[in-house]
Amino acid sequence: MTFTCGNGTCDWTAMCVFWDFHLDRWSTEGCHTIVTDGVTNCSCHHLTSFSILMSGSLSEQITNSTSLDYITEIGLSISIVSLLICISIQVIVLRRTHHRMAFHRHVIILHMSMFLLVSHVSFLASSFIDSKIQETLCVALTFCTHLSLLGFFAWTLVQGTFLVIRLLFVFHHVTITEFTILSVVLGYVGPVAGAVATFLAYYPHYYRRNDGCWLDNTSGASMAFTIPSIVIMSLNVLVLVVVIRTLLRPSISEGKNEDEEVVKKVVKAVLFCTPQFGLTWAIGIPLLTSHGAEWLRYLFDLLNPLQGVFILVFGCLLDDKVSIIPHPVVRPSPID
């Protein structure tokens, strides 16, 4: 924001501030004042909490909450590092994987990680720019965040689809051609079509929010992310139900030890599938209304920025096929 001062005291009295609803007072945090030739330029940069992605209407109290800002910034930073590690692991494992089903799984995890990484980087970058001054950059980051998040959810659906096929059609082996077609349609065509259609329909006046680099909630543009994500989460919940029902099927030998083993498998399935299916985002559904509880925002901002950590742990480190990366065989040299 730029102000023109007609007296010579402007460089002594000008101060850029914003009203901090959390502290109930004026604050200069994140604001910079530059006075040149009687013209005062105010620039304020505030990290937006991650819950803006699923919020129908963020109150200023939540938007300016310092604690939520810090949680988001720290969580995204840790998640970005975790995703880089996960991507590196998947690339190494893919080069040494010859089993078809294992290859499919590693490709899916790799794409999920890449899309999530792009969304985290673009969201974090958008939080440190002035959306009113850097309009073009803000629009570009909004599009990038939208596309990458749609891509992430699309690949969770790809994973759920192949898991159901594997469980319900035991004797059907998915070919490379089938995998490629379904993955391209769901994982690429769908997200790109959704993001481009949203941009063309709402840009330039109704595409992004006035208070940040994300889809506008008042025009309905944000529904282009909310609706697909909720639909995919619902389908993935059904996949999780299929997984649990499969684990609960009675076996030939039933007993106490058998029951305990089944319970362990169910708990493990829930822990593994929840982050990889994007189900932690369901916490944000109540936030679509303006009356969403504040503690849900904190829980959302705590879990979802750390999703990269969960994918690294449950999708890479605890995976039996990934936990020990095979090393090349070293053959002993012949003895002369």
CATH of the domain at 225: 1.20.1070.10
CA dihedral 185, 99, 91, 84 (to 10 degrees): 80
Co-location of 186 and 223 in the same domain: yes
259 within a domain of the structure (yes/no)? yes
- Which regions in the chain score pLDDT beneath 50? 11, 21-22, 58-64, 323-336
241 within a domain of the structure (yes/no)? yes
Q: How many CA atoms lie within 13 A of 228 on its CB side?
A: 25
Q: Look at residue 148 in the predicted model and tell me its pLDDT.
A: 97
Q: What pLDDT, in 10s, does the model give residues 137-192?
A: 999 999 999 999 999 999 999 999 988 888 888 667 778 888 889 899 999 999 99
205 within a domain of the structure (yes/no)? yes
Co-location of 179 and 100 in the same domain: yes
21 within a domain of the structure (yes/no)? yes
Co-location of 35 and 63 in the same domain: no
Rounded to 5 degrees, φ, ψ at 41 are: -110, 120
Co-location of 93 and 141 in the same domain: yes
32 within a domain of the structure (yes/no)? yes
Number of structural domains found in the chain: 2
Sequence-distant (≥ 6) Cβ neighbours of residue 236 within 8 angstroms: 156, 157, 160, 273, 277, 278, 279
Co-location of 69 and 116 in the same domain: yes
Owning domain of residue 264: 50-317
Number of helical H runs and strand E runs in the chain? 11, 5
Q: Look at residue 185 in the predicted model and tell me its pLDDT.
A: 94
pTM: 0.79
Q: What pLDDT, in 10s, does the model give residues 229-268?
A: 999 999 999 999 988 888 887 655 555 566 677 777 788 8
Q: Look at residue 268 in the predicted model and tell me its pLDDT.
A: 81
Co-location of 8 and 90 in the same domain: no
β pairing state of 39-44 and 18-20: unpaired
Q: Look at residue 4 in the predicted model and tell me its pLDDT.
A: 65
Q: And the tokens for 196?
A: 């481009």
Co-location of 8 and 78 in the same domain: no
State how far the alpha carbon of 312 is from the alpha carbons of 98, 132, 266, 286, 304, in Å: 22, 36, 20, 27, 14
Q: Look at residue 327 in the predicted model and tell me its pLDDT.
A: 41
Co-location of 122 and 200 in the same domain: yes
115 within a domain of the structure (yes/no)? yes
Co-location of 88 and 215 in the same domain: yes
Co-location of 255 and 113 in the same domain: yes
Co-location of 17 and 121 in the same domain: no
Sequence-distant (≥ 6) Cβ neighbours of residue 192 within 8 angstroms: 147
Report the C-alpha gap between 203 and 132 in whole angstroms: 15
89 within a domain of the structure (yes/no)? yes
Co-location of 112 and 202 in the same domain: yes
State how far the alpha carbon of 327 is from the alpha carbons of 93, 142, 315, 322, 333, in Å: 10, 42, 20, 12, 18
179 within a domain of the structure (yes/no)? yes
Q: Look at residue 333 in the predicted model and tell me its pLDDT.
A: 39
Bridge partner residues of 19 (DSSP): 26
